[in-house]
Structure 1
């Protein structure tokens, strides 16, 4: 019996440790803003870019704030800090992005998604950085999937035309040719981007090709590949090629970037680009999807 107990006790201790590790695993929902910013950088509870912080927006929601003004490269460390904090070790993340937040996250994954990341403890200081968990590292981050509202990974013709303040470093990054050449959009390190494309665009219809949400056109919000933007529309529009749902090639044969899938195409032209301080526009659809699926 004594020999049996000497064998069983270590086994039980190992099993209890495993159960403890499983119990400590946590899922988080990260929200990455676009141009203009608004939330307090480093404060993961500051949701002023989106709307009331009391609004449900996925399990353990965190606002990953960056200034929405400076270049993607210069602000990218803020995103890496958040991913290190909440998406390493036993923790996993769901991610939602809006507009230039799509460009930001795509850049992050393509350039840093295969690098060694120190596992963090998910306890952030005022700068948005977390302490080390156990000193060990892992390759990349634990990301279940991404849902993108009005994604600007393909840039915007409003930037090309100077419709936005041309002095902003971010606006230079958002030029269609610049955004599309900034990184390998096909290299997401196997993380899926589910795209939500709005089409309630009227103000800049002469600048943005095809269907648009007043800030980005379908070629960007639909994740269409290529070195420049094209004209893509809803099936009811006979004057340009259809943006297809899912990963299928678009009408005319153009492809979407790898690991990009269109979850929503605004056939009724009902959703514009803007949160309006209350989770509105196409953002409302992504928020609803996070509530249902980021658990």
Structure 2
């Protein structure tokens, strides 16, 4: 009888543990920000909060203007909250959010993290669950809409407000030297590259979405940006899909794969307050895969 009681208690413990486990979809904004920092339900940057955007969606808001290093703590708070213990996360980034996520994983993804209870206080920090810790976070994948991990030439030439610390971080040479982009802690970055550029975006090499060029949105490795295009363009090398080397032989960073290349030149950089542009393409993919 005693053995039966012990067995039943263990079963209840396992059921309780399984019931507490959850998956979350974290959306990490880019430059300009918009949502209230610490409020994981404020989707102002992206669009209506009522729009489907993955299981248990949360907006990881940072100010979108300060340096990556100074704002990384806001992202780490969210990762600690929702991606530790028995909980797992899907991560979605936009523009400079890709630089932010890459920096955070490379520099802190191997550190000890206290397991949290997924119940944030008003400042966005969660309480400890059981006092134990783990190494890094439980992340299934990262999907990057117009990823700026390789920087943007608009920052190089001062097209954006040069007094912003983030703009300094987004210079192509700075962004590419900021951290080891191959160090993703074995987390895959799936890249979505838009190509609906405009005349003024001639500053950007190859195909672009008005703000970031394919060399960055496609996760192309190297110390500097190159010129990459769609197969229909004869004047520069093609950005390849998946993890394959690009035309001309250039490689992508480790654990980076191009999931979407805008061959129809239909998607620009901007969400437009309504999940628009390349963000809309990623949102559709997330709805079908972040379950």
Report deviation, 1:7: 1.6
Q: TM-score scaled to structure 1, two decimals? A: 0.98
SS of corresponding position for 2:202: coil
Which has the larger Rg?
A: 1
Question: Match for 1:256 among 237, 252, 256?
Answer: 252
Q: Secondary structure at the match of 1:216?
A: coil
Which residue of the partner structure matches residue 169 of structure 2? 173
Residue 274 of structure 1 corresponds to which residue in structure 2? Answer: 270
Following superposition, the deviation at residue 205 of structure 1 comes to 3.1
- CA apart distance, 1:204: 2.9
Q: Distance in 1 between matches of 2:110 and 2:201?
A: 39
Residue deviations 1:51-92, cap 9 Å, x none? 011111000000000000000000000000000000000000
* Aligned: 1:211 with 2:228: no
- In the alignment, which residue of structure 1 is the partner of 2:110? 114
Match of 1:62 in 2: 58
CA distance, structure 2, for counterparts of residue 285 and residue 198 of structure 1: 9
State the Cα distance separating 1:241 from its structure 2 match: 0.3
Who is 2:279 aligned against?
A: 283
Return the match for 1:17 from 13, 17, 35: 13
1:233 aligned partner: 229
- Matched position secondary structure for 2:110: coil
Deviations 1:98-141 (A, max 9, x none): 00000000000000000000000000111100000000000000
Matched, 1:81 2:77: yes
Provide the aligned C-alpha RMSD in A: 0.6
The CA distance in 1 between the partners of 2:55 and 2:171, in whole Å, is: 34
- Consecutive unaligned residues in structure 2, runs of 5 or more: none
Q: How does 1:72-151 map to 2 (within 5 A)?
A: 72-151=68-147
- Please give the secondary structure, in 1, of the residue aligned with 2:270: coil
Counterpart CA distance in 1 for 2:266 and 2:144 is 17
CA contact (8 A) 2:201 2:211 kept: no
Secondary structure of the residue aligned to 1:204 is: helix
Structure 1 moving runs of 4+ over 4 Å = none
Partner of 2:149: 153
Gapped regions of structure 1 (runs ≥ 5)? none
CA distance in 2, matches of 1:198, 1:62: 24
